[in-house]
Structures are given as C-alpha cells and as structure tokens.
Structure 1
Amino acid sequence: MNICVFLSAADLDERYTGPAREFATLLGKGGHTLVWGGSDVGLMKVVADGVQEAGGRLVGVSVDFLAATARANADEMVVARDLGERKALLLAKSDAVVVMVGGTGTLDEATEVLELRKHGKHTKPVVLLNTAGFYDGLKTQFRRMEDEGFLPLPLTELVFFAEDGVAALAYLEESAGIR
C-alpha cells in the first residue's frame, strides 16, 4: 500500500521521533511505500530512514523552494511547482493518508484532505496519529464541530484517531482489506 504521511520537517524531541521511527519500521516491514514531502531533514528524515532501513520504498514529492533538502536516495522523487500541486501529487500517489505531528504546513495538509473527504472528493482512509496526545485539542474541536452540526457526516467516517503506529497501520490495512 502507498501511504502518504504528512509530518514535520523540524528536528523534534524523542517523544515524537521514537514513535515516528517505530511507525516507519512497521511500514517498511509491512512492505508499504512511504509517500511523503521528500525532505531529508527533521522528522521527515527519521521516518524515511526507518521505512527504507526496514525494506520499504520511498516516493517523495518535494516543491521547488525546498528541493535543496530533498532526499537524494529516494526510489522516486518528484518536484512540484508549488504547495498546491505538491498536495495533489501526494494524494494521487497514495492509497491512504496518515497525519503525524507537525506545524502549520501539516495542519494545512490535514485540513485540506479532510475537506476533500467531507465532500466525497477523496475516499482514501485518513488517520491522525495522536502521538503523545499531540492532536487531543483538534480531536475535541472536531467533536464539537460534529455535535453542533458543522460536519455533514459522522466524525468516524471522516478520520480515525490512532494513539500509536500499530493502531494506525491496523486501521489502514483493515480498510484496504489486507490481513
């Protein structure tokens, strides 16, 4: 399965890098392909290293202004003109989406894919990997949106919140009929 992972390119604390490395190892050992922003820095590097070391493939989609940080030894690397094209290519090349910890860019990617899913323009499973409770506040906000009628479909049909990589991958494999 080609799994798009939206995540930070920042250097982060072990409470985030450890679980990210574990998830990456699960992806690689499971024979999955990581489809990611292509950067060879920060958490993006940690995940790409883990997937590659465990035998998985790497498909990167960088963007012109970040091409200098693109991973040189990815199995495939595409350079998009802008962030909009990058997001579209990431989704087109994937069978599922996992959102890991990140900043405004990751949040932008997550909300765009959820908006597309809400309108039926994207039907691939989406997981928010809630490492160290990072997305607890967002989960609360989504529940409020659902309770107050802002979501046209149940939250459980929009996104799956996983507390760890094992639960995230199990959900994706079950959604894809693997196992």
Structure 2
Amino acid sequence: MRVCVYCASSSKVDAKYFEATKVLAKELVAKNVTIVYGGGSHGLMGCIADTALEHGGKVIGVLPRFMEKVEWGHKNLTQLILVKDMHERKKLLIQDVDAVVALPGGCGTLEELMEVITLKRLGKFTKPIVILNTDNFYYHLKEMLQKMIDERFMRDEHNAIWQFVDNPEEVIPAILNAPHWDSDAINFAAV
C-alpha cells in the first residue's frame, strides 16, 4: 500500500503535532505502507520521514527543484523525485497511491488537501482522503465543508469524500473502511 501524506514544513509547531506524526509514521510502517510525501526535511515533513525510516519504512519524497536548491530536501529517503514545479509535485504525490492523509499544516497543506477533495468530487481521484484532526486542528475546516453542503454548494453525498479522525491510530482503519467512490462521481458533482 502507498499513502500520500500532506503535512507541514514548520519546525515551530507544538510538540503534540510531532507526537501524532511519529505515531502515524510507526502505524504506517507496521502495516508495510510506503509513505509518499513532499520531500522536505523540516517540521512534520522531516518528522514523518525520519520516524518511518528509523523503523525500517519506505519513504518517497516529491520535491520541486527550486526547493532542492535551498536545501529543503531530505537527504536520506528511499527515493527523492525532483520535479519542475508545485503543479507537477501535486500530481505525482497522488499518482498510484491508495489513500491521502492530511496532517495539520499551513496554506500549502490546505491547498493540496482542497485540490484532492475537488478531484475526488469530480471523479478524477477515487481513493480515501483521511484528515487527521489532532487536538481539533481542523475543526473550522470540518465546519466549513459542512456549511458548503448545508448551503447547497455541495451535495449531501459529498460528505463521503473525506473522513475526519482525531487520533493517528484511527487513520488506517479509516482508509480501510472509507466509503467506495467511483469515477462516475462527476455525474453528481454539480448541485
């Protein structure tokens, strides 16, 4: 199994986010999951890579060349794929993965998450999307997505696009038990 993990590059975030990331990395390695992530060496990105590698896991990073030039790339990954730009990075991050997991993060994490949600709504991505809501970090996003449905910008069926979980131990069960999603979702993408 291959899982794309979206996460932050900031090293200044609270320790609780690092702890949850370490637990998730160990959970994924224990299930022989290859982690595909943004290739960074700092913050939660560095944490998930380092922890998985320390426990014998496989970690593939996808990094734009301009970030490698400023030495943001992790040097010890199973594989580091250098790409032209952020668009190519996002495309490769979700190519051939079995699920996407979003950890707490900044605007980059949120942008990646919203793009993959949009792709799933349109039937262009059909795999589970699990949002790790550590210490209620994503409370407002959860409320906003529900408001979009309540206000009829999206359909009730679109609630099945994502799953929110509170603890890293819930991520793999959420992936395995996610509702089926089909490429014909485009037929009900419009409201």
Which TM-score bucket, shorter chain as reference? Answer: over 0.9
How many equivalent pairs are there?
176
| 1:173 aligned residue | 176
- C-alpha distance in 1, partners of 2:90/2:97? 11
TM-score, with structure 2 as normaliser: 0.88
Q: Deviations over 1:69-117 (max 9, x none)?
A: 2111211111111101000000104211001111000010000000000
Q: CA deviation at 1:153?
A: 5.0
Matched, 1:2 2:2: yes
* Alpha carbons 2:62, 2:92 under 8 Å: kept: yes
CA distance 1:14–1:21, change in 2 (3 Å): same
| 2:93 aligned residue | 90
RMSD: 1.4
Q: How does 1:11-160 map to 2 (within 5 A)?
A: 11=11, 12-67=13-68, 68-152=71-155, 154-160=157-163
* Alpha carbons 1:7, 1:106 under 8 Å: kept: yes
| Structure 1 residue identity aligned to 2:5 | V
Structure number, greater radius of gyration = 2
- C-alpha distance in 1, partners of 2:42/2:58? 18
Partner of 1:35, secondary structure, is strand
| 2:187 aligned residue | none
* Alpha carbons 1:118, 1:153 under 8 Å: kept: no
- C-alpha distance in 2, partners of 1:173/1:159? 13
Unpaired runs of 5+ residues, structure 2, are 180-191
CA distance 1:163–1:107, change in 2 (3 Å): same
- C-alpha distance in 2, partners of 1:116/1:65? 26
- C-alpha distance in 1, partners of 2:135/2:150? 25
* Alpha carbons 2:121, 2:158 under 8 Å: kept: no
Unpaired runs of 5+ residues, structure 1, are none
Partner of 1:39, secondary structure, is coil
| Structure 2 residue identity aligned to 1:10 | S
* Alpha carbons 1:10, 1:42 under 8 Å: kept: yes
